[in-house]
Amino acid sequence: MERILLVYNPKSGKKSIASHLDKLCEIFATEGKLLTLYRLGSDNLQPLSELIRGGGFDGVVVCGGDGSVNSIVKTMIEENCDLPLGVIPTGTCNDFSRSIGMPGDPMRCARLIAQGNIMHTDIGLIDGGKSVFVNELAGGVIVTASFSTDQNMKKLFGPLAYYVTGLGELANIKPFELKIETPDKTYVEQAIVFLVLNGTDISGFSNIVKDAQMQDGEMDILVFKNVNPLEITDTLFKFVTGGQFKEENVVRIRTPECRISCDADISTTVDGERGPEFPFELKMKKCAIKIFY
């Protein structure tokens, strides 16, 4: 019988995963897999690292949001762990799970994972691997929204809460000069938002970059230029809803690596959690981990 380590974050999303653990055990047992449960907390990543290294498992499954996935992927990369990873989405946005094509229902995800099909996906390394991003790194008004959105609002409205809060920040918007150095070209732009994507989704919105590939060894960078407030609102709204916006308002870059710097006091976020300070270097690790799908 194959052994699977199931790591779950009891605080993710609507905090409902604990009530589904027995059902998850049943789903995996039906496919001949034995689950070992590990409750993820902010202070127990080191024991988890040791467990992944020496536990004799055949795979790892994480129940949580993008932040939880990020923590597990970073641990697996640090341990040079070649085990396949499964993602059961129980967070607020679950961008990475959707980007790799998993359904939104956790039980459907579990059934797919238990079947054992495997693919590979890229992972972004930050400053040589000091940290990673599995789906996105961002800075600007969207980041402000992600940190200031009320928790009750997130529970009620989900991803839409981030966008509504982001629009409220536009009145106080301060553009910043962003410098992005790639192997081929250096970009200097007056920006309000920048996004670095591995997948297709961000903040709960799907197919933001419809042609993004997670096995090509490249990241997609979008820089939203500083234009008048009406155009900013129109561009962001059409961008997240899939409408046609003015292409000249957004700089698009695709590159395997870059250095990003900014002298302004701009916060960043990585997979929904606080990100690095400027400057930082990014590099995609092509097909870095195996994924159950």
Q: Please check whether residues 141 and 272 belong to one and the same domain.
A: yes
Query: Does residue 138 sit in the same domain as residue 278?
Result: yes
291 domain residue, yes or no: no
Over residues 183-238, the pLDDT tens digits come to 999 999 999 889 999 988 887 677 778 788 999 999 999 999 988 777 777 777 77
Q: Record the tokens describing residue 195, joined without a space.
A: 């996004």
90, 116, 142: which is the final residue of a domain?
Answer: 116
Reported as a single tens digit per residue, the pLDDT across 80-110 is 999 999 999 998 889 999 999 999 999 999 9
Helix (H, G, I), strand (E, B) or coil at 190: strand
Please report whether residue 121 resides in a domain: no
What is the pTM for the complete model shown? 0.88
Tell which of 116, 150, 170 closes a domain. Answer: 116
Domain, as residue range, for 32? 2-116
The H or E element containing residue 181 is strand 176-181
Taking the C-alpha atoms of residue 257 and residue 218, their distance in angstroms, rounded to an integer, is: 7
Q: Indicate whether 111 belongs to any domain.
A: yes
Q: Let me know whether 23 and 54 are in one domain.
A: yes
Are 103 and 109 a contacting pair, CB within 8 Å? Answer: yes
C-alpha triplet 280, 63, 217: angle, nearest 5°: 40
Distance, in Å, from the CA atom of 140 to the CA atom of 194, rounded to the nearest integer, reads 7
Beta carbons of 191 and 236 less than 8 angstroms apart = no
- Count of structural domains, the chain: 2
User: Taken in order 52, 57, 62, 66, is the CA torsion positive or negative?
Assistant: positive
